[in-house]
Amino acid sequence: MEIRKVGVIGAGQMGNGIAHVFAAAGYEVVLTDISEEQLQAAVNTIQSNLDRQVSREKISQETRDAAMSNITTTLNIADLGETDLVIEAATEREDIKVQIFASLLPHLKPETILTSNTSSISITRLASGTDRPEKFMGFHFMNPVPIMQLVELIRGIATDEETYQACLGVVENLGKTAASAEDFPAFIVNRILMPMINEAVYTLYEGVGSVASIDSSLKLGANHPMGPLELADFIGLDTCLAIMNVLHDGLADTKYRPCPLLTKYVEAGWLGRKTQRGFYDYRGETPVPTR
């Protein structure tokens, strides 16, 4: 099927980035959220990011204007009914995602493809709660979406070849690269990345190194562009913990046990950049380690 109109559910950090890249690639985008304030913030972010691309001569003013005109916002999920492809990018909680798909299903065309931007939750399980498991798959963008080149495509056990090929074509149209992953906890990127971050937190927890020394060691010793604790703050410590719990529960291996210190930071509400405090304190001019 030809995909022209795309629905994006969730106007947070991932949702606004997904809407941005689809609109810039010429797709009609319907962006929905439960908060009008969040929708307006998302539009402002997209506009600011596009303006930055114009100022750096990455895109033309005409491309920027066309992209903005491709985006409409709505508080009513039923307005996604005429879309050809839906990407759910709500918070990383399975119960919320299940509720979203349940409220969306009565309004969809029979041929609409459903996808989730989940970073760890079972695609097969999410698909089984819908009326179209063969037209359901994982469509996992990396953050920040406009910059990162990879998209993980994850087939559930029922996903058909036509759906996979349609989504693969979309990734190519976006100018990104697809990596096919099997439907096992956390897929490829987070299956490898999150245990590394968790081990960095254990290294801090056990007093092997400080926040600064751990991040410096990985940046200078392994040539990582960002230290693991700095990266955890960027991703969100609640998201890191949620993915580690999915790995631990889904694979039943103690090597995926979340570090108690990570749990403690989340309990404190110190979730990283989005709350101004995590492994670093971002309330001043420059980030300061909190341990």
Q: pTM value? A: 0.90
Let me know if 119 is a catalytic residue: yes
Let me know if 82 is a catalytic residue: no
Please indicate if the annotation marks 199 as binding a ligand.
Answer: no
Q: What local confidence, expressed as pLDDT, does residue 249 receive? A: 94
Tell me, letter by letter, the H, E, C secondary structure of the chain: CCCCEEEEECCCHHHHHHHHHHHHCCCEEEEECCCHHHHHHHHHHHHHHHHHHHHCCCCCHHHHHHHHHCEEEECCHHHHCCCCEEEECCCCCHHHHHHHHHHHHHHCCCCCEEEECCCCCCHHHHHHCCCCHHHEEEEEECCCCCCCCEEEEEECCCCCHHHHHHHHHHHHHCCCEEEEECCCCCCCHHHHHHHHHHHHHHHHHCCCCCHHHHHHHHHHHCCCCCCHHHHHHHHCHHHHHHHHHHHHHHHCCHHHCCCHHHHHHHHHCCCEHHHCECCEECCCCCCEECC
User: Judging by beta carbons within 10 Å of its beta carbon (0-12, 13-18, 19+), is residue 197 exposed, middle or buried?
Assistant: buried
| Tally of CB atoms within 10 A around 127 | 25
Side-chain-side CA neighbours of 114 within 13 Å: the count stands at: 30
Catalytically annotated residue among 70, 117, 120, 190: 190
Please indicate if the annotation marks 33 as binding a ligand.
Answer: yes
Please indicate if the annotation marks 49 as binding a ligand.
Answer: no
Residue 83 — left, alpha, or beta (φ > 0 → left; ψ -120 to 50 → alpha)? beta
pLDDT in tens for each of the 291 residues of the chain? 799 999 999 999 999 999 999 999 999 999 999 999 999 999 999 999 999 999 999 999 999 999 999 999 999 999 999 999 999 999 888 999 999 999 999 999 999 999 999 988 999 999 999 999 999 999 999 999 999 999 999 999 999 999 999 999 999 999 999 999 999 999 999 999 999 999 999 999 999 999 999 999 999 999 999 999 999 999 999 999 999 999 999 999 999 999 999 999 999 999 999 999 999 999 999 999 999
Overall size of the chain counted in residues? 291
Q: What local confidence, expressed as pLDDT, does residue 55 receive? A: 96
**Residue 243: φ, ψ to 5°:** -70, -40
Assess contact for 56 and 62: CB atoms under 8 A.
Answer: no
Side-chain-side CA neighbours of 157 within 13 Å: the count stands at: 6
Q: What is the CA radius of gyration of the chain?
A: 19
Please indicate if the annotation marks 14 as binding a ligand.
Answer: yes
Assess contact for 183 and 124: CB atoms under 8 A.
Answer: yes
Q: What local confidence, expressed as pLDDT, does residue 104 receive? A: 97
Let me know if 107 is a catalytic residue: no
Catalytically annotated residue among 16, 49, 88, 152: 152
Instruction: List C-alpha distances in Å: 57 to 25, 47, 64, 188.
Output: 17, 15, 11, 34
Catalytically annotated residue among 49, 88, 116, 140: 140
Please indicate if the annotation marks 264 as binding a ligand.
Answer: no
Which residue in 265, 127, 129 sits closest to 200, CA to CA? 265
Please indicate if the annotation marks 13 as binding a ligand.
Answer: yes
Q: What local confidence, expressed as pLDDT, does residue 92 receive? A: 86
Structure tokens at 83: 């879309």
